[in-house]
Amino acid sequence: MNTVTKVAVCSRSFSNNTILRNELLQKYQNVTFNDKGLQLKGDSLVSFLSGHEKAITALEVLDEYVLSKLPELKVIGKYGVGLDMIDMSAMRKYGKKLGWTGGVNRRSVSELVIAFAISMLRNIPQANREVISGAWRQHVGGYLSGRTVGIIGCGHIGKDLTKLLKVFGCNILVNDIQDYSDFYSENDLSSVTIEHLLENSDIVTLHVPLNDNTRNILDSSKLSLMKSTAILINTARGELVDETALKQCLKENRIAAAAFDVFAVEPPKDQELLSLPNFLATPHIGGSAAEAILAMGRSAILGLDENYIPSFT
């Protein structure tokens, strides 16, 4: 056990998980947990991390300002798979090391996508609200089986999702800037332009990281390409989609439905969007399966010891 190195755990869900706490304390004795459930950002994040040599972070933003104020901090163990909240150039500038493993929550997210798809195809959210209000009418929905599903981003989650969709006999279209041609051929997938994918998919699901190239990847012009019967699913990052344009599409039935687990601002403020009968919102629960939480936590713990100065942006 390391009794000298000071470790800070910013993540509230990690701090609340008895198994992860015990496993971390078996390796490091001097640990500060976020037991007050603080939402850490800016100066409050600097204050919490100050004096610690290693840290486990989740959705906390580690920008140039924060990193410049923490000379003692040497290592970040990343809890979760998204890296858009960490300024990689600042990490390199200040010599900070990153411990991160991609895809550890893939099954948790891909199963949520399946749940979203079936829920919206069968009008489950709307039917549930009607029953609660006293109405009783049958909604005629449709199968997921045999549908054309467009996956934008075929990394860890996109690949895992294809395995689940194949059970339903779905026709799968994929779009990614990376060359995954071997995976495509092995799984009978069609690699297409994003325009072709949007025009021909019954369900479109996003699985790309947020960066300057993907921000608003689905703006009003791209959303206009989708079928009026199509469903849009976003379990990646909120800023990938122009939410104002999406709201108009849903209100005017230019897109049949949408299900989002992530938003540009969390929690979301647009009550008009949230209250639409053809929109389903969840509070960023993509990785919140018990199995995924343990996998992400253990990856973050490992990252405290196995890490590197990031060479990518």
199 vs 175: CA distance, rounded Å: 13
**Helix (H) or strand (E) run with residue 43 in it:** helix 43-49
Catalytic residue among 64, 72, 195, 266: 266
Catalytic residue among 53, 237, 239, 243: 237
| Residue 233 three-state SS | strand
CB 38 within 8 A of CB 48: yes
Q: Select from 19, 28, 23, 20 the least CA-distant residue to 1.
A: 28
Q: Select from 120, 125, 117 the least CA-distant residue to 149.
A: 117
Q: Select from 299, 310, 294, 311 the least CA-distant residue to 13.
A: 294
What's the DSSP call for residue 191? E
Q: Select from 18, 23, 22, 24 the least CA-distant residue to 6.
A: 24
162 vs 43: CA distance, rounded Å: 42
Count other C-beta atoms under 10 Å from residue 121's C-beta. Answer: 19
Task: Answer yes or no: 207 catalytic.
Answer: no
- Beta strands of 176-284 (E only): which ranges? 190-191, 203-206, 231-234, 257-260, 279-281
Task: Answer yes or no: 243 catalytic.
Answer: no
Task: Answer yes or no: 284 catalytic.
Answer: yes
CB 60 within 8 A of CB 10: yes
Catalytic residue among 92, 196, 284, 298: 284
- Active-site residue numbers? 237, 266, 284
